[in-house]
């Protein structure tokens, strides 16, 4: 997939961190904002966009709700990943001084990540629908007493000044995004290692998960992520999402997946893609 043509959809308003991920991973593509994750996926399914940028997990808050349910049902394939450092900035109307501000507006998650800064400057937190939307509202309202907490990209888009940069409490706050396509790309790409992602459901036999994981250990395949969640709200039906280092054509990966299939009732390959250097 070319990085210099076409459209890439994302959930959120212009200036959202997902928008930043689009610019970072596919700078030449037109980024298309969507109201929901489902809308972003549907744009690709219908052919209105070539790719979708979807957040899957955050280093502070864990996995993104509902994403693991959407991935296997989307019909799309993972072809790339990118990691975005969530730098939070105080954005205000041009000419505003920080001492003029009384309220800082953002998504409740971001407000919780800037408690120290807000307390130091005696700023009252104000909950907004999302980060970029808060920046847009601050620009629309024209009230110098209200600022937004958002990305620098949001400030650039909505004409706001950056009064304070990187004010988040945790310096390593990072979100991982997956680039999704209608067509799979199973080729080896790039000079570094490859990642493979899949979902599976174990058979209803004693110690099935333990036995299924044994193949990865004995064949020297590093599993970087394993997460479980209920299927259709049933406590007895559990599905797993996994990331491993390696390509399905690697002999050790082939052997591990063969052993996994023996203990599973369902196995879905979501994609294979170059490991982003920022994951190391």
Active-site residues, by number, are 175, 177
CB neighbours of residue 255 within 10 Å: 16
Transcribe 100-126 into DSSP letters: G--EEEE-HHHHHTTHHHHHHTTPEEE
**Cβ(151)–Cβ(20) below 8 Å:** yes
**Cβ(107)–Cβ(58) below 8 Å:** no
Q: What does residue 179 show for φ and ψ, rounded to 5 degrees?
A: -95, 120
CB neighbours of residue 259 within 10 Å: 18
Nearest CA among 82, 52, 80 for reference residue 176:
82
């Amino acid at each position: 997939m070319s990085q210099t043509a076409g459209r890439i959809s994302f959930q959120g308003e212009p200036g959202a961190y997902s928008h930043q991920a689009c610019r970072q991973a596919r700078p030449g593509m037109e980024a298309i904002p969507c109201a929901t994750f489902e809308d972003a996926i549907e744009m690709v399914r219908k052919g209105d966009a070539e790719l979708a940028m979807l957040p899957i997990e955050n280093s502070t808050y864990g996995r993104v709700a509902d994403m693991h349910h959407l991935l296997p049902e989307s019909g799309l394939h993972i072809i790339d990943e990118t990691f975005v450092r969530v730098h939070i900035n105080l954005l205000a109307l041009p000419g505003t001084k920080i001492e003029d501000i009384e309220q800082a507006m953002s998504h409740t998650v971001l407000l919780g990540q800037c408690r120290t800064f807000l307390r130091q400057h005696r700023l009252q937190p104000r909950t907004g629908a999302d980060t970029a939307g808060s920046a847009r509202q601050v620009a629309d309202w024209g009230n110098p007493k209200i600022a937004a907490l958002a990305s620098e990209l949001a400030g650039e888009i909505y004409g706001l000044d950056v009064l304070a940069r990187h004010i988040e409490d945790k310096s390593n706050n990072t979100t991982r995004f997956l680039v999704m396509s209608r067509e799979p790309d199973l080729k080896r790409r790039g000079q570094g290692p490859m990642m493979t992602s899949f979902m599976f459901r174990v058979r209803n036999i004693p110690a099935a998960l333990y036995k299924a994981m044994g193949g990865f250990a004995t064949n020297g395949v590093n599993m970087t992520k394993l997460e479980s969640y209920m299927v259709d709200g049933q406590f007895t039906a559990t599905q797993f999402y996994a990331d491993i280092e390696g390509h399905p054509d690697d002999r050790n990966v082939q052997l591990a997946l063969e052993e996994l299939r023996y203990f599973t009732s369902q196995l879905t390959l979501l994609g294979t893609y170059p490991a982003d250097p920022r994951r190391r």
